[in-house]
Amino acid sequence: MTMGSTGSITAATLSSATLHEAAGRIGALPSAIGPAFTGARVVGPAFPVASPPGDNLWIHRAVYAAEPGDVLVVDVGGGTEFGYWGEILSTAALAQDLAGLVINGRVRDRDALADLGLPVFSAGLCIRGTGKDFDATGSLGTPVRIGDVFVERGDLVVGDADGVVVIPKADAEAVRKAGAERDAKETELMRRIRAGERTLDLYGWH
């Protein structure tokens, strides 16, 4: 990226950490949530899902309720030791043109997920299967809480190797611009550091 190019920078080109900082250090999901396979990166509007612990029927429903380009953001209510998502659901999500999955539970079929390429971010891997309780309560498209972050439909979700950030939709454009400006400043700082200047002097940390 070069100085003066901030107008062309999109959220897809900015890191989760940059957007988190640019937003005033808000929106970071728990650090346990990370990419299920190397190279996964997700960007898109949130489609929140509340799933009963140990059950993924509502997640199947979410695949067909969300809009193309949406990122499913799933709260499993504390039931983390289950594999809620795998090869079949990734295949279904790709068929629906979804952008990816963020879940505070676990997933399985990592190699197949990597081969399919749909970005998946989870709290880890678990081979333990889930149930399908038709009487269990869940929700689609209504706000959920992941860690200390409330996620509403349409919020901007960005996930990469460092983690996942969720930015309120009303603030997304301002945060994108601030993030682009931050990246440009850091590019210049790194140029000066490589030229021999000290971080302590650049930041005034004496």
**Residue 57 domain-assigned (yes or no):** yes
Span 45-52, mean pLDDT? 98
| CB contact at 8 A, 52 and 79 | yes
**Residue 33 domain-assigned (yes or no):** yes
**Residue 193 binned pLDDT confidence (cut-offs 50, 70, 90):** very high
**Residue 174 domain-assigned (yes or no):** no
CATH number of the structural domain spanning residue 99: 3.50.30.40
Span 66-91, mean pLDDT? 97
- pLDDT at 12 > cutoff 90: no
**Residue 143 domain-assigned (yes or no):** yes
Residue type, 102: V
Taking the model in full, what pTM does it have? 0.91
**Residue 118 domain-assigned (yes or no):** yes
**Residue 202 domain-assigned (yes or no):** no
Rounded CA-CA distance 101/85 in Å is 9
**Residue 4 domain-assigned (yes or no):** no
**Residue 9 binned pLDDT confidence (cut-offs 50, 70, 90):** low
- pLDDT at 195 > cutoff 60: yes
**Percent of the chain whose predicted confidence (pLDDT) is above 90:** 92
- pLDDT at 5 > cutoff 70: no
The answer to which of 91-100, 106-115, 193-202 has the lowest mean pLDDT is 193-202
CA quadruple 186, 190, 191, 197: dihedral sign:
positive
Q: What is the dihedral of CA 16, 18, 21, 24, to 10 degrees?
A: -80
- Containing H/E element for 157? strand 156-160
**Residue 6 binned pLDDT confidence (cut-offs 50, 70, 90):** very low
- pLDDT at 73 > cutoff 50: yes
| CB contact at 8 A, 50 and 138 | yes
Domain hosting 75: range is 12-169
**Residue 8 binned pLDDT confidence (cut-offs 50, 70, 90):** low
Domain count, the chain: 1
**Residue 44 domain-assigned (yes or no):** yes
Q: 133-158 burial by CB neighbour count: b if 16+ within 10 A, else e?
A: eeeeebebbeebebbebebbbbbbbb
Span 151-178, mean pLDDT? 97
Q: Write down the pLDDT at residue 185.
A: 92
User: Which of 83, 69, 70 lies closest to 152, judged by CA?
Assistant: 70
Q: State the DSSP string of the chain.
A: --TT-GGG--GGGS-HHHHHHHTTS--BPPTT-EESSTT--EEEEEEEEE--TTB-HHHHHHHHHSPTT-EEEEE-TT--SSB---HHHHHHHHHTT--EEEESSBB--HHHHHHH---EEES-B-----B--TT---EESS-EEETTEEE-TT-EEEEETTEEEEE-GGGHHHHHHHHHHHHHHHHHHHHHHHTT--HHHHHT--
